[in-house]
A and B are shown apart, each in its own frame.
Chain A
């Protein structure tokens, strides 16, 4: 599902434009990207990376003997990047042999260290300069370049503040002690995370008519705030709302909302180690934590002792756990269940991807869990570390 959402973006010819037919260009996604670099005189491979109008990723190559290059393609709204690597006769960059030759060349010429990011859409883009991509002049009829630069710089700023805290929080969670220090880290993490997540929504509110907002909203799939994403999509200009990426983001919101706190948890029936099918339905009347994990997932295995601790603490309070493994093979799953001594019901989710339970629950990464109340409603999500204990203590009074 998520793959489809994030891969399959495109511009459908706007239905409205088709019917009213004229003023709006329906086919305007062709681009030409040209370059002329006067001081690059030895052969180089020029790369252009971008997402096309169907949101497929491209990495195009152009062998340039004289510092000039030209790419043609289709794009509706993509962040793109150009960079150079040495040209090595007979080898491509996928081959290790290439790098033995290229490494020397790259050391001696600083222009191989540079890359140039820009916003790509239909139109012409002409880069001219000496040998430095970063300082090259860009001539284009695309009006989104400045807005894009503003977006990238703003994103870098919030990201730089947020990323180090992810690591600090992970370390603090794994120690599992709640004290002044861990409170401080958690508070700061929450603040910076919010700034990072909200940046896209603030940006798109400022530029509701720019295609750059589509890039911002699509950004980091793991950290959507779905309510804000929904508002942000509604605020986009009409033209952008009909674009495929917008409708796919809406589908994603629908899926998330159907697995949100307060919603009825999707029922499932999966095999236990003996091949017996066990359903969520059979747990009605109990609080149950549905926990998604896999044997080969280190963060899951690191979290398991904490889940066992919580189980022992709360099992007498009408509370149970179902672990659902996304393992493809049965053997490593059984071994991990035994090693981690998981005393509750263990199920394996080996249905094909489109029918998998983790997909139905909108799980993007594991570990991931859902706390379900006796009536079958979701009451909490993604409880990890100390939060699991705090939430259970609060609910299972």
Chain B
């Protein structure tokens, strides 16, 4: 699995050196589970040796990735935002177990539609921080849009 991601990453990074300045790119997708249930998928492509942190970082640790979904009349959130496995390490600086992502990270949020098969948009904001071994980019907020149709 890791090998595949790595290969994808290499293929992509060959393209954009300018991505070094903006090491995390977000894309969104929507998957239909049933007429009343959808899955919102936010994927981060992380270049080079940069890290993106898990949503579940102990307090006092590095800035976790956080999602805020703007509520509207068309849907209700179902459960929390899931994330992939990532890498867990004992961080020597924060002295705690920290999970981070390299290469790629996928976050999923299930939602329940109030009206079956309705069409609408869900706006969300992801707040995150990217680091490598020697520096971090200041915390950043990115707007995401999920198109339910």
Contact = CB atoms under 8 A, between A and B. Distances in A.
Contacts of B106: 94-96
A363 B43 CA distance: 27
Contacts of A99: 1, 4
* Residue from the set A93, A95, A112 with the largest chain B CB neighbour count within 10 Å: A95
Contact of A300 (B22, B61, B84, B136): B136
A57 B29 contact: no
B134 interface: yes
Given A47-B11, A81-B12, A365-B135, A106 B4 contact: yes
Given A99-B1, A215-B17, A332-B59, 20 more contacts: A5-B21, A6-B18, A49-B12, A57-B19, A79-B14, A81-B15, A94-B27, A95-B29, A117-B15, A170-B134, A221-B18, A294-B63, A296-B64, A297-B63, A298-B131, A298-B136, A327-B139, A328-B127, A335-B60, A366-B138
The 4 closest A-B pairs by CB, nearest first: A296-B63, A365-B135, A326-B138, A297-B136
Contacts of A55: 18
Contacts of B22: 3, 6-7
Contacts of B131: 297-299
10 contacts: A5-B21, A7-B18, A81-B14, A117-B14, A294-B138, A296-B64, A326-B139, A339-B60, A356-B138, A364-B21
B93 interface: yes
B10 A115 contact: yes
A138 interface: no
B139 A83 contact: no
Nearest to B29: A94
B11 A297 contact: no
B20 interface: yes
Interface in B50-80: 53, 59-64
B141 interface: yes
Contacts of B136: 294, 296-300, 365-366
Given A221-B21, A294-B139, A298-B136, A79 B15 contact: yes
B35 interface: no
Contacts of A298: 62, 91, 93-94, 131, 136
B6 to A, nearest CB: 11
What band does the interface of chain A fall in when counting residues whose beta carbon is under 8 Å from B? Answer: 35 or more
A299 B92 CA distance: 11
A103 interface: yes
Given A95-B41, A301-B94, A79 B63 contact: no
B61 A2 contact: no
B80 to A, nearest CB: 17
Contacts of A296: 53, 61-64, 129, 136, 139
A113 B62 contact: no
Given A6-B22, A96-B84, A170-B133, A219 B139 contact: no
Interface residues of B, number: 45
Contacts of B120: none
A334 B42 CA distance: 31
A29 B17 CA distance: 20
B15 A57 contact: yes
A150 B31 CA distance: 44
Contacts of A328: 127, 139, 141
A220 B20 contact: yes
A38 B59 CA distance: 56
B142 to A, nearest CB: 11
B121 interface: no
A336 B60 contact: yes
A308 to B, nearest CB: 15
Nearest to A120: B15
Contacts of B62: 296-298
Contacts of A301: 93-94
Interface in A108-126: 112-113, 115, 117
B15 A6 contact: no
Nearest to B57: A296
Nearest to A115: B11
B130 to A, nearest CB: 9
A89 to B, nearest CB: 14
A103 B4 contact: yes
A177 B130 CA distance: 29
A327 B62 CA distance: 11
A218 B91 CA distance: 34
A217 B36 CA distance: 51
A50 interface: yes
Contacts of B94: 298, 301
Contacts of B31: 95
